[in-house]
Structure 1
Amino acid sequence: MQGLTQEYVRHTMDGGLPSQNTIDSVIVVGAGLSGLAAAYELTKQGTRVTVLEASDRPGGRTWTYRQPFADGLHAEAGAMTVTEHCSYTMHYLREMGVDTAPSDLVDTDFSYYRNGVRIRPDKIDEHAEALGLHEDERHLTVADLFARYVTKFNENIGSEVSALDWTPTPKLLELDQISVRRILADRGASPAAISLIEPLFLEMRGGELESASAMAWARYESSPRSFSTADAQWYKVEGGTDLLARAMAEKIKDQILYRRPVVRITQSDREAQVTFLDRDRLQTLSADRVIVTAPFSSMRRLNLSMAGLSAAKHAAIRKLKYVSVLRIYLQMRKKFWPEQRLMLSTDTPICTVRDATPQQPGPRKILECWLTGWPAQAAASMSEDERVNFALREAESMLPGARENFELGASVAWDNEPYAGGAYVLPEVGHSELMEHTRSPEGRIHFAGEHTAFEPNGGSMNYALESAIRVLLELSSV
């Protein structure tokens, strides 16, 4: 179905999905949330579905890290939050009977760590000169800086920046040719001010403000899902985000084949074929349609020479960039820091340091170092032990007692995950030129995943699930 809009997909989801009886079989590539949702809905309608998943678990980049931690502690490696505005995610949470709880990212004891000093957001003026703020910024709070350089300007862009249905208007397309850092600098923000407000750009936290599209950023910051407007309506999945994926996978467990990495996709006028590894053998399945939910970063590994894809699709697969994120987890025998909900934005290579387990019971805690951008890329080249030692050394300087209380460590480098190749899509300057081509179907092959969403920002469970519903509407029109 051509011309599907964000509003139409949402309206159809709320009113009930149409049945489709013209497609007998579907292969879904990837058991992330979009693949699981598509397979679940198709199975309910009687379609024969096979899901090929390269790893040994469902969820994709919805991944709760549970091993090797003690006392049932866990930390998120990927997706972390959901809001009341995430209609698709809330729908499936309710349908699967999975509960939510207040997010750990809201109402934290947040501070900055700059030049070896802890600075509370309401004490910025006391350190303004040392931070390097411009003269006219030194009397402002972080909230004031955000209002001056973000809110005021974005409000003047026009209603299209926050409209419910995404449309890339000429004014927004103009912003798409400018990076976030450049537009902030053009508005008068000093490098120090940008550093102070950057932690509020949660979905843009790739350390890539020099290349990130101001269009995508302005759209996100003007939406109710923005971290800068976070309130009590921000939630996490109680017990771990992977519980949603596991619940969905349980519904279609007979249709999912794990440890089956896809290596080739082809299609003809009559059918589509997917070739995959089954241990030491190559196997090929045929179906009426294929739904590819794998990130484009991993699709670059596939042979698509006989897939019949357009030049525009090949270009989108080749060009789309993903954020580098690396998380290092340090299990501590006790909470030795004074804050109840520690969160530090640092100017060190370990970027953000936080208590990943503030609401989990027991004396032990997991201290998380959340690296993005070039520090994440650098640490991805280290061994596991080297990463842990690196994080401990940096953490000890700002949290004395880290080494003394350390018990064990683990890490996840999303750049190194072979079937992910990054954490979530990074909308770079010129992203609007790729958006339509990321989601457009190509013959018998359809595309889902957070990178194919109507919105120009990734990193959202909701966008992944929305894309699955969009694909189901494409199939129903065949």
Structure 2
Amino acid sequence: MLIGRFPERIVVIGAGMAGLVCTLELMKQGYNVRLLEANSQPGGRIYTMRDQFADGLFCEMGAAFIGAHHFLTLHYAQQAGVQLINVPAPNRSLSYIDGRLIIDSPVEPAWWPVSLTSEERTLGYAGMLEKYLKPGLNATGDPSLPGWPTKQAVLLDSMTMEEYLISQGASSGAIKLLEIGYMQMLGDGIRKVSALQRLLDLKMASSGRNTQTIAGGMDQLPKKLALTIGSNISYGCAVTHIEHSNKGVTIQYTNSGEVFTICSDRVIVAIPSTVLRTIHFSPPLSKEKNDVIQNQLSTSVTRTVIQSRTRFWNNLSSFTTVNTDLKIGWLLDATFTQTTSRRGLICSYASGESARELSKAGNFHSAVSEIKQVLPELSYQYEGGTVFSWDHNPYSRGAYAWYKPKQMIRMLPTLSAEQGRIYFAGDNTSLFPGWIEGAISSALRAVNQIISSRLS
């Protein structure tokens, strides 16, 4: 890490979880690190909205949950000293399909308003998940083991998730039912996304034990890590140019309308490909690297949040989420961990084409109308709300990365590879886009690449 007697100077671009972890780990190793962040706060797509609601209520616009098997995330949460809260596991699920609110539980299985085979009717929703998804979840293999991707993983990456479900014998009605809710939240849905990515994401989302969230808001994690980094972070710094050679890197950025330049020995770029495209590299990145950066896709996500006078939905018993076949997508009780107010927040999570439609000017009221359709009592309890689109955020330009068939296995090695003295991190360079775990794993990989380059 030393050049003569002096520690190497490294600039990290982006103070999302990947950039924060890169900075922390490099500082531990004795590097001289400067972290540049374009926003006025750390966290990236960990964004807890706080200033739009009454009584101190807040709502997660980005990352909201930590799985029991997200060991890297749990490690840094412990290091930061944040308090974790278990997310309640409902004893029944709620879905809104074809204009009906449907309750499903092991005790009283739902009669689904879709065309299912007699076997699928007998299996029920949980049984269909087991029958159709388990073989694929097993076939993804373990990406951490040598020899991955396996032939089975490559095969899964060659088809869409819909094609995979068809290959498992799922009827069109079963596919319609299974795609409502979480399954639809990756890219432009199961008819376009790689089956390998969809299944790997389901493995990351699922857990045999309790899922958790952070008391007081998810943004407590990046804020506390940023405090540890201290004055090494500079906010409001939007990088515009990166000039690099075999001797070092020069970074140009703007802050409050002024242009600044900083020189370093190496740089880690920990921002989404959608934003990376706006930075000018001199000399240009390799054609292969540039091609994957230009072509990596980003999921459109729009969140509509409604403030209600009371939490009338408590009458629904164990309501945490509702899967819907409407444009609003997935409905969530955003305040289930917040107990200081009678008021509550309901958040809709729309993705893909529906998200792009709802993010258009003037479409807020259509989202509110759909939420009221699912929860009619909201008409009497509605106090206002807001809409947030990750597509319209200039330092995100979309939410998490997604892949069409034959893209994931081909693009990931190039996305994660260093080029000269430039290194790349961020959940979009990991196997698990959209997850804090993916961001942290990418950061540790980039740090190891730097350490290895110094030892070679």
The two structures share one fold, judged by TM-score above 0.5? yes
Quick check: 1:108–1:342 contact (8 Å CA) kept in 2?
A: no
Measured after TM superposition, the shift of residue 136 of structure 1 is 4.0
Secondary structure of 2:179's aligned partner: helix
For 1:320 and 1:414, how far apart are their aligned partners in 2? 16
2:449 match = 474
1:51 match = 35
Secondary structure of 1:183's aligned partner: helix
User: Does residue 1:360 correspond to 2:335, yes or no?
Assistant: no
For 1:458 and 1:407, how far apart are their aligned partners in 2? 34
- Superposed, 1:319-358 pairs within 5 Å as 319-337=295-313, 338-339=315-316, 340-358=318-336
1:153–1:308 distance in 2 versus 1, CA, 3 Å: closer
2:122 match = 139
For 1:39, the aligned partner's letter is T
User: Does residue 1:226 correspond to 2:202, yes or no?
Assistant: no
1:47–1:152 distance in 2 versus 1, CA, 3 Å: closer
For 1:140, the aligned partner's letter is L
User: Does residue 1:426 correspond to 2:410, yes or no?
Assistant: no
Quick check: 1:109–1:343 contact (8 Å CA) kept in 2?
A: no
Secondary structure of 1:216's aligned partner: helix
1:11 match = none
For 1:247 and 1:307, how far apart are their aligned partners in 2? 37
1:17 match = none
Q: Structure 2: any 5+ residue segments left out of the alignment?
A: none
1:7 match = none
For 1:321 and 1:359, how far apart are their aligned partners in 2? 33
For 1:65 and 1:463, how far apart are their aligned partners in 2? 23
Q: Match for 2:436 among 461, 466, 474?
A: 461
Q: Match for 2:349 among 361, 365, 370?
A: 370
For 1:360 and 1:332, how far apart are their aligned partners in 2? 14
For 2:280, the aligned partner's letter is N
2:371 match = 395
Quick check: 1:66–1:74 contact (8 Å CA) kept in 2?
A: yes
1:33–1:153 distance in 2 versus 1, CA, 3 Å: closer
For 1:121 and 1:342, how far apart are their aligned partners in 2? 14
Quick check: 2:307–2:346 contact (8 Å CA) kept in 1?
A: yes
For 1:84, the aligned partner's letter is A
For 1:317, the aligned partner's letter is I
Secondary structure of 2:2's aligned partner: coil
For 2:152, the aligned partner's letter is K
1:36 match = 20
Measured after TM superposition, the shift of residue 142 of structure 1 is 0.4
Secondary structure of 2:396's aligned partner: coil
TM-score with structure 2 length normalisation?
0.91
Q: For 1:364-383, what per-residue CA distance to the aligned partner results, in whole angstroms no more than 9, with x for missing partners?
A: 10011111111101112225
Q: For 1:314-350, what per-residue CA distance to the aligned partner results, in whole angstroms no more than 9, with x for missing partners?
A: 0110111111111111111101222243421111111
Deviates more, 1:212-221 or 1:172-181: 212-221
Secondary structure of 2:55's aligned partner: coil
Measured after TM superposition, the shift of residue 415 of structure 1 is 0.9
1:380 match = 359
TM-score with structure 1 length normalisation?
0.87
Secondary structure of 2:271's aligned partner: coil
User: Does residue 1:273 correspond to 2:253, yes or no?
Assistant: no
Quick check: 2:297–2:401 contact (8 Å CA) kept in 1?
A: yes
1:15 match = none
Measured after TM superposition, the shift of residue 441 of structure 1 is 0.3
For 1:24 and 1:215, how far apart are their aligned partners in 2? 39
Quick check: 1:392–1:402 contact (8 Å CA) kept in 2?
A: no
Measured after TM superposition, the shift of residue 99 of structure 1 is 1.5
For 2:198 and 2:288, how far apart are their aligned partners in 1? 24
For 2:277, the aligned partner's letter is R
2:2 match = 21
Q: Structure 1: any 5+ residue segments left out of the alignment?
A: 1-19
2:97 match = 114
For 1:462 and 1:184, how far apart are their aligned partners in 2? 27
Q: For 1:81-115, what per-residue CA distance to the aligned partner results, in whole angstroms no more than 9, with x for missing partners?
A: 112322221111111111111126x4375211111
RMSD: 2.1
2:417 match = 440
Secondary structure of 2:152's aligned partner: helix
1:165 match = 145
Give the % identical residues.
Answer: 28
Quick check: 2:23–2:229 contact (8 Å CA) kept in 1?
A: yes
Measured after TM superposition, the shift of residue 422 of structure 1 is 1.3
Secondary structure of 1:71's aligned partner: helix
Q: For 1:252-311, what per-residue CA distance to the aligned partner results, in whole angstroms no more than 9, with x for missing partners?
A: 22111111111111201211111111222222211000100000011111212x144211
1:6 match = none
1:95 match = 79
For 1:250 and 1:199, how far apart are their aligned partners in 2? 40
1:169–1:91 distance in 2 versus 1, CA, 3 Å: same
1:238 match = 215
1:293–1:154 distance in 2 versus 1, CA, 3 Å: closer
For 1:137 and 1:185, how far apart are their aligned partners in 2? 14
Secondary structure of 2:130's aligned partner: helix
Measured after TM superposition, the shift of residue 238 of structure 1 is 1.6
Measured after TM superposition, the shift of residue 125 of structure 1 is 6.7
